Amino acid sequence: MKAYDALIVGSGAGGGPVAYTLARAGLRCIVLEKGPRHARPSFVHDEVATCRRDFFLDALEDDPHTLIEEALDAAASPTRGGGSGGGPAGPAGSTPTQLTSLGWIARCVGGGTVHMAGHFYRLHVEDFRMATLFGGGGGGRGTAGAGLALADWPFGYETLEPYYALAERVAGVSGAAGVNPFDAPRSGEYPMPAVEAHPLAERIDDAGRRLGVHPYPEARAILSREYDGRRACVYCDFCGSYGCEVGAKSSSLEALLPAAEATGRCEVVPLAMVRELTVGRDGRADGCVWLDAEGRERRVNARLVVVACSAVETARLLLLSRSRRFPHGLANSSGQVGRNLHFSVNSTGRGLFRFGSGRVPDGVLSSRAPFLARSLQDHYLLPAGAADLPKGGTIRFGFPHANPIFSALKLAHQAGGGGGRVAWGGFLMRRLREFWREGRWVEFETFADFLPNVSTYVDLDPTARDRWGLPAARIHLAEPPQHAKAGAYLRARGLEVLAAAGADEVHEGEAGAVTGHLVHGTCRMGTDPAASVLDADGRAHDCPNLYVTDGSALPHAGGVASTLTILANAFRIADRILARR
């Protein structure tokens, strides 16, 4: 059996930087990816084929997650081996188990970076010190509130900053440094200027000045000009949820894995389902057992193992990897594997700019430029009394997705007025005509902190199985009141900007909903082995050659989309692997 220096499980934002770094440093690497490898010609602007027929994901019946919605339990505490599965469904008041897409990102080479929208933000300095600033560390009862599990990162922003710069440079990020007064310190410029913005962005900027806030051109993982042999963006209408047919999206598939493979020392194997990480007699990880596309069992031996399957699936794989030495799952002597799961909190609103109203010139509204490309971080910290914690987030302004089926369904639910009611008939037809023909809609979404808590975690479902016969990941979800309160505040501020920009009407969306595709925390980094899974280098406390480099490692994801932070931290951990070697 062929042996490798490094086995990397997962090929997205957590796995790609490790393969890139280690292979270029001379290590022999193998990357095992559960999904297929797509090529540019397969990335077509077809909503049915791409978004509604499981192009990037398996059907839930084949590869499920299950969900139990819990009440926040202030009295609960993690127990040794508590993520091992097969336990009670949850405290009184929890919902029955249901299938869910929550926590799924993608199942393909490159992971979720292949179809991401590419909103690339850095964390702020405060995000690394949540327990210190707001209390509640370690699942305690500080000022953050009972039942929460806030924690400090084991290092500060200054440690990660060089790797933010490295990730932006290697992947290729377009942006404008110095335009956001709330940004954390930077060591340099972006490698490319910001993407071109729709002329309506100037109206957002003017509205911000009048309101005393600071919209700015956001950074995107999209090439605004030719870069490193890849073509610039062609400004199509189909970016988020789609692969890029010209390679301008700075995904792991485009920017990282080809460079690793070009060394001749990195092998990427698609359609490889890892079912168990194996451990030698010395207690060190020594490889894995995996199933190929025909279901045949295969094995890989490696000197070190890196897990980057996304936070839910990484926890699941560790919990599945039981042995005499690790009866509750690999690296889980603390019972913390699967604990501290957190997502991102999303609030929305929209405004209609009507043609012919005179508030905004029709010539501005009729431009077909796809990117509004404006974000706002004035409310990253909230005023006293706005929510339980003075922690807000980012407001991002953009246009509705161009997918027609998605837009019609969304509009039917919005026009139905909520409560499960759906608009139909002549009323819905009028709303569809208004949406497509009578003006431009501008939407905003927010990224705000999902607060880790003792009632939100991953374990193994005692009955549900995937198509390989393995226990599915079961997600227990509890939402602290902070989410809705902070979400309502951020939503109100977004609506103010749209109204000031000239919208003829504005509409509230949801406040404090869970964004299930930004997933973190199930193998938290920390200095205390009893309260964390990994040390500051991303290395398991229990297993000295096992590393985790995806969102699982993040103690907090902050008030931003987290993909850039996952990339940066993976580059940092890869450097630490080389230093130890």
pLDDT of residue 309: 97
- Tell me the CATH number of domain 3-69+102-218+266-580, given options 3.10.180.10, 1.10.3720.10, 3.40.50.1820, 3.50.50.60: 3.50.50.60
146 pLDDT exceeds 80?
A: no
Q: Do residues 307 and 10 touch, judged by C-beta distance below 8 A?
A: yes
CA–CA separation, 430 and 437 (whole Å): 10
| Runs of H (alpha helix) within 309-354 | 311-320
- Phi, psi angle pair for 418, to nearest 5°: 85, -175
pLDDT of residue 98: 92
What is the distance between the terminal CA atoms of the chain, rounded to a whole angstrom? 23
CA–CA separation, 397 and 391 (whole Å): 20
Structure tokens at 313: 């699936």
141 pLDDT exceeds 90?
A: no
417 pLDDT exceeds 90?
A: no
pLDDT of residue 77: 58
Which residues, in sequence order, are CB contacts of 150 under 8 Å at separation 6+?
130, 131, 134, 135, 136, 137, 142, 144, 451, 452, 556
572 pLDDT exceeds 90?
A: yes
pLDDT of residue 74: 66
What's 385's DSSP letter? Answer: T
129 pLDDT exceeds 90?
A: yes
pLDDT of residue 93: 63
Structure tokens at 2: 């062929």
CA–CA separation, 367 and 192 (whole Å): 24
Structure tokens at 536: 């500051």
DSSP E strand boundaries for 73-188: 98-100
- C-alpha distances (whole Å) from 246 to each of 255, 273, 551 are 13, 29, 28
* Confidence class for position 89, pLDDT limits 50, 70, 90: very low
Which residues, in sequence order, are CB contacts of 546 under 8 Å at separation 6+?
277, 284, 285, 304, 305, 307, 330, 331, 539, 540
Question: Helix or strand or coil: residue 274?
Answer: strand
pLDDT of residue 194: 98
**Crossing angle for the helix pair 425-437 and 404-415, to the nearest 10 degrees:** 120
How much is the average pLDDT of 2-10?
95
How much is the average pLDDT of 532-554?
98
When comparing pLDDT for 500 and 425, which is higher?
500
pTM above 0.85, yes or no: yes
Structure tokens at 133: 């600033």
409 pLDDT exceeds 60?
A: yes
Structure tokens at 271: 């359609």
Structure tokens at 391: 């922690």
490 pLDDT exceeds 90?
A: yes
CA–CA separation, 447 and 122 (whole Å): 12
- C-alpha distances (whole Å) from 292 to each of 48, 107, 257, 272, 297 are 28, 15, 20, 5, 7
pLDDT of residue 142: 39
pLDDT of residue 163: 98
| Stretch among 90-104, 113-127, 143-157, 488-502 having the lowest mean pLDDT | 90-104
Q: Where are the domains of the chain?
A: 3-69+102-218+266-580
101 pLDDT exceeds 90?
A: no
**Crossing angle for the helix pair 563-580 and 157-167, to the nearest 10 degrees:** 100
Chain mean pLDDT for the chain: 93
CA–CA separation, 459 and 463 (whole Å): 12
pLDDT of residue 224: 98
How much is the average pLDDT of 20-39?
98
> pLDDT tens digit string along 418-473?
677 888 888 888 888 888 889 999 999 999 999 999 999 999 999 999 999 999 99
% of the chain exceeding 70 in pLDDT? 94
251 pLDDT exceeds 50?
A: yes
pLDDT of residue 432: 87
Question: Helix or strand or coil: residue 5?
Answer: strand
88 pLDDT exceeds 70?
A: no
> pLDDT tens digit string along 300-314?
999 999 999 999 999
| Residue 443 bridge partners (DSSP) | 350, 398
pLDDT of residue 139: 37
> pLDDT tens digit string along 254-291?
999 999 999 999 999 999 999 999 999 999 999 999 99
> pLDDT tens digit string along 335-381?
999 999 999 999 999 999 999 999 999 999 999 999 999 999 999 99
When comparing pLDDT for 145 and 454, which is higher?
454
92 pLDDT exceeds 90?
A: no
